[in-house]
Every structure is written in structure tokens, then in C-alpha cells.
Structure 1
């Protein structure tokens, strides 16, 4: 008989204050870049999923969810699926819910899980943007998040990002 591992009950150690300050400043700077891109493209809502992506990269850079492949492929897969659902059903809150739920499948099939990408799918289902939104703002916003993670990984001693590229 095999027993399940016992879950750990302790809270993780608090990082040094200097690491917290640097991560906060770097994350905020990256989010300001995302805000500028969103304002320039009149697609401010699309900055929201990428704010969550940036937070995952800043707080848990080693997780599979935080890796560049998961960020780019996850947002593109979720957005593409949502475009198809929205083309059939039209934009609505119900389409948003369906698209967000269904977006899990292509992310997992493509081995690129990224929970914030479900928000991208929901926004597509809600707003019904043109397919070009995949090229702008999704790809540039993904690049900003990844670049911010790389920069943060270079600035913080003992921190490596990404854990892998592919």
C-alpha cells in the first residue's frame, strides 16, 4: 500500500527586504511598460492578464507557469481558442466564461500551462477583438513580461530566470 506524501504545514521563509524591494520596483516598472503599451493600443483591458503574468514571474520564477514558453504559448493558445468561440457565439459574458474554461485544454496539450492566459481568453470572449490582437498586444506584452523576468533574474543574486526557454 502506498501512502500519499504528507503536506508541509510551514509558511515559506520571508525573502530579504532588499529582494522584496527590488522585486517590487522591477514588477512595478514592468507594469508601467504594459500600461503604456495598453494605452497606446486602446486595449487597456488586455494589460490585466499580463499583470498577473508579471506577478507570477516576479514571485515564483521557477514554476512552469512562469516560463517564457508557458507565457507566450499559453496566451496565444487561449486567445486563439477564444477567437474561435467568439466567432461562433459572439461576445458576451457567457462566451467569456466558455472561452476561459476551454482555454485550459490547448495550454495543457501544448505543455504550456499559464493560468493568466485564461483571463486573456475571457477578455476575448467578452470584447470580441480582431484577430490581430494576437500580434498586438499579446506578443509585445508577453515579451515585456519575459524581459522583466530576465532583468529581475540578473539583478537579484541567486535568482535565475528563466528556468528554461523551451
Structure 2
């Protein structure tokens, strides 16, 4: 069983060219650095890392920078829109499990309607409602974090990966 898995893995690696391996290495390094910086700011701000919703966003913007949800409008706007929906639902209903589920659904709808669809932001309303987070969560870590992530992604792709990002800003 182990040999079959190893043989298949080796065959897959041989099929991929060195450029793909290098791109994966650069993307992995960028994601690791971004998570490390996020962890540092999490400790400084006294927010547990689990409450900061950017780990999957980092994977998306570093690993698939050409995807529409990885563009700045979706990255920043999606986090803001989804968080606003969560805060509104929390204010109207309180911190109930059904309200958290409803907030996620409404956030998906709001992101579609506003053209800011960013799948990783779907966790924001869940966090807001289930943890009864304050309105300040919208500013820090969400707005500040999304802007920092967009800035990091711009610098990373331009100078470390040697490619243009974003395809468009808005």
C-alpha cells in the first residue's frame, strides 16, 4: 500500500515541470510568511488567530492570483461586506446558531450582489455572530487585515514571484 502511494507521488512529481515546482515553492513561501506576519499581529492585537479570517484568503491570493475572487475588490470588499452582514444579523437577532447560518447565507448573497465574491470571507459572519464580536472587528482585524493582505500580495507577486498582480484593482 505505501509503495503504491509513493510510486504514484513520484510519477506525479516527474510529470510536473520544474517551473510548476518553483511556482509552488514560491507560493508556499509567500503563504507561510503572510501567516507568520498575521500571527504576529494577532498576538500584538490580542485577537486569537482563529478569530482572524485570512488564512484561506492568503492561500487564494498567493496560489491563484489570476482568479477573480483573488483580486483586490473581492479580497477587501468581500471581507468588509461579509463582516457587515454578520454584524447586522448579530444586532438584529443575537448570537444564535441559526442566526450564524443565516448570516453566512446572506453574506454570500451580498457578496454576489456587490461584485465582491470572495469565498474565504464566508467565515466572517459566522465568527461575528457565533462569538458576538463587536463592531470594532470590522476595522481591526478585518479592514486593516484585508488592506495589509492586499499590500503584501501586491509586493509578493511583483517582487518575489516576478508577475503582475492584480489583473485589475476594482
- Verify the 8 A CA contact 1:33 1:144 in the aligned structure 2: no
Equivalence for 2:80: 76
Q: Which runs of 5+ in 2 are unaligned?
A: 1-15
CA drift of 1:103 comes to 0.2
Equivalence for 1:156: 161
SS in 2 for 1:100: helix
Larger radius of gyration: 2
TM-score by length of 1: 0.84
Equivalence for 1:131: 135
CA-atom RMSD in angstroms: 1.5
Equivalence for 2:36: 32
Structure (1/2) with the larger helix percentage: 2
Once the two structures are superposed, residues 57-77 of structure 1 have per-residue CA deviations (whole angstroms, 9 ceiling, x without a partner) of 011101110011111111111
Report the count of equivalent residues.
Answer: 152
**Quick one: distance in 2 between partners of 1:34 and 1:162?**
21
Q: Which has the higher contact order (CA 8 A, sep 6+)?
A: 1
TM-score by length of 2: 0.83
Q: Which runs of 5+ in 1 are unaligned?
A: 1-12
